[in-house]
Amino acid sequence: MADWTEKYRPSTLSEVRGNDKARDAFAEWARSWDDHHEAVVLHGSPGVGKTSAAHALANDMGWETVELNASDQRTADVIERFAGRAARNATLGGSANGGGAAGGDTASRQLVILDEADNIHGNYDRGGASAITKLVKESGQPIVLIANEFYDMSRGLRNATQEIEFRDVSARSIVPVLRDVCRKEGIEFESDALQQIAERNRGDLRGAINDLQAATEGRDSITVEDVVTGDRDKALGLFPFLDAVLKEESAQEALQSAYAVDETPDDLTKWIENNVLDVYDPNEALRAYDFLANADVWLGRVRATQNYTYWRYATDNAAAGVAAARDGGKGGWTRYSRPQFWGSSDATADEVVGRIAAASGCSIATARREVLPFLKTVTHHCKPRELTVAMAAAYDLDEAGVAFVTGSGESTNKVESVVEDAQALRDERMEDHAEGAFAGGSRAIDAPDDGAAEAPATDENGTHESAGDTDDGTGEDAEDAEDAEDDGQSGLSDFI
């Protein structure tokens, strides 16, 4: 039995369902390719028609296709051998392709399709990521990258391409497709049965067609009773979830959306916190941060007690509370950013919290639940910079620590410069408060080495005496010691 998803794959862009705006933008990219010569990224949840749209476009334009799964064939050698040759106007057989970048016959072009472009990471791929980035910059042929998560791609690759988002296909758009398939296969159907399949797949058109084929195998009709595929329990994507909370849904609906996302409340709170300022006005953001602070308190209790029933209170505040802080719906499209401290290890968080507790004289629990959320808010994305530098100096944070607190990228110039200035500030404070404490060390280093070290003087009882032992009973040494103890908190007091 033929796979219906392949048998009924759209042959033209006009047959692509549920993403009219993305489809039109994709067609415009192809028509104007001679003007920009840029690659394009089609991104969105699995099953929404990205790869089908790429093949349909090639059919509309009369272009040949060269398809490479970047996840399975992602080394630099493989990418260059297959996709690179095609992108440089040579067919796979080695013959010259007369069309391409020179603006010749557009029908002689090849559309290079790189699937799973978001599954190329670092050294494991032996140069694959850099090879694709180089390819899209130098290509003489149109290139389409297919990705589920746009922000899982490298920044260099994202900056070198146009991007078009394919949204989840609504049940309303899925039902007509299922109806057409049934008619072409000669299968009688109950409308409620098709509606149930569409609802259960929650936007996954490919999954809906697969479920229809499974439910009708060996039958010439389908009823509600025949639909036994069960709920796929498909998780809501993070970006649709952010739209639900920050733009579209009521507090109750946003809370239900949070339950449908396959992420922990801790992670969801980070995503909301990192993007709320890109959508909300100052008054809305002020109210939203109150709820986010409450969510963080409950998350702290989960970490402290390992009682995960508290998670629901964190979700109430992060999803429903932040949605309630909004004054109505929000329009437009927002480029949501992944939290830059994403993937920070627990060791990094523990190290930062430990430094805060030591410098502030509070408990680890207090530092985690009360001080850290405050620091994250007042130094968000390293703004204001002076305050961020003072914080990094007060707690002696490295790049990983500053990135964790501020949400900025650890390897960015911004974070690196903050750490450098913080270290300079600490050195300056150390020198100001040392009162010549290191002078002896300097003299010892500068003294000529004559092969014999001068022995310390001893009194008649054999007790060593140093040049600094000048206590005349006035108590100045005790005062100096007290001053030195106070100076140990100078970084924190200056920061506060």
> Does residue 357 carry a pLDDT above 80?
yes
pLDDT for 185-203, tens place per residue? 999 999 999 998 988 887 7
pTM exceeds 0.85, yes or no: no
Please choose, from the candidates 157, 151, 163, the residue with its C-alpha nearest in 3D space to the C-alpha of residue 129: 157
Q: Alpha-carbon distance 246 to 326, whole Å?
A: 7
What local confidence, expressed as pLDDT, does residue 102 receive?
37
What local confidence, expressed as pLDDT, does residue 234 receive?
52
> Does residue 338 carry a pLDDT above 50?
yes
Q: Alpha-carbon distance 435 to 359, whole Å?
A: 22
Q: Alpha-carbon distance 119 to 438, whole Å?
A: 53
Q: How many CB atoms lie within 10 A of CB 412?
A: 16
What local confidence, expressed as pLDDT, does residue 367 receive?
85
> Does residue 79 carry a pLDDT above 80?
no
140 confidence band (pLDDT: 50, 70, 90): confident
Strand partners, 145: 41, 114
> Does residue 375 carry a pLDDT above 80?
yes
- CA quadruple 48, 6, 63, 176: dihedral sign: negative
123 confidence band (pLDDT: 50, 70, 90): very low
What local confidence, expressed as pLDDT, does residue 13 receive?
93
307 confidence band (pLDDT: 50, 70, 90): confident
89 confidence band (pLDDT: 50, 70, 90): low
Percent of the chain with pLDDT over 70: 72
Burial of 151 (C-beta count, 10 Å sphere; 0-12/13-18/19+): middle
Q: Which helix (H) or strand (E) holds 457?
A: strand 457-458
Burial of 73 (C-beta count, 10 Å sphere; 0-12/13-18/19+): middle
What local confidence, expressed as pLDDT, does residue 474 receive?
44
What local confidence, expressed as pLDDT, does residue 86 receive?
54
Of the ranges 145-159, 202-216, 284-298, 360-374, which is most confident?
284-298
What local confidence, expressed as pLDDT, does residue 5 receive?
86
pLDDT for 470-481, tens place per residue? 444 444 444 444
Q: Alpha-carbon distance 299 to 350, whole Å?
A: 15
What local confidence, expressed as pLDDT, does residue 491 receive?
39
In this prediction, residues 377-406 reach a mean pLDDT of 90
Strand partners, 163: 41
What local confidence, expressed as pLDDT, does residue 70 receive?
52
In this prediction, residues 283-301 reach a mean pLDDT of 91
What local confidence, expressed as pLDDT, does residue 288 receive?
94
Q: Which two tokens stand for residue 58?
A: 């090639």
> Does residue 98 carry a pLDDT above 50?
no
> Does residue 34 carry a pLDDT above 80?
yes
In this prediction, residues 24-42 reach a mean pLDDT of 93
In this prediction, residues 263-274 reach a mean pLDDT of 87
Alpha helix (H) residue ranges in 316-398: 322-324, 346-360, 364-366, 372-378, 385-395
In this prediction, residues 237-244 reach a mean pLDDT of 86
Average pLDDT of the chain?
A: 77
What local confidence, expressed as pLDDT, does residue 88 receive?
55
Q: Alpha-carbon distance 10 to 209, whole Å?
A: 13
Burial of 106 (C-beta count, 10 Å sphere; 0-12/13-18/19+): middle
In this prediction, residues 232-238 reach a mean pLDDT of 60
In this prediction, residues 258-263 reach a mean pLDDT of 78
Q: Alpha-carbon distance 42 to 68, whole Å?
A: 15
Q: Alpha-carbon distance 415 to 397, whole Å?
A: 11
Residue with tokens 């003072």: 390
103 confidence band (pLDDT: 50, 70, 90): very low
What local confidence, expressed as pLDDT, does residue 178 receive?
94
Decide which of 125 and 11 is more confident.
11
Please choose, from the candidates 252, 256, 241, 251, the residue with its C-alpha nearest in 3D space to the C-alpha of residue 327: 251
Decide which of 423 and 67 is more confident.
423
Lowest mean pLDDT among 76-80, 258-262, 280-284: 76-80
CA separation (Å) from 20 to 15, 16, 32, 166?
Answer: 10, 8, 18, 9
Cis previous bond, 265, omega within 30: no
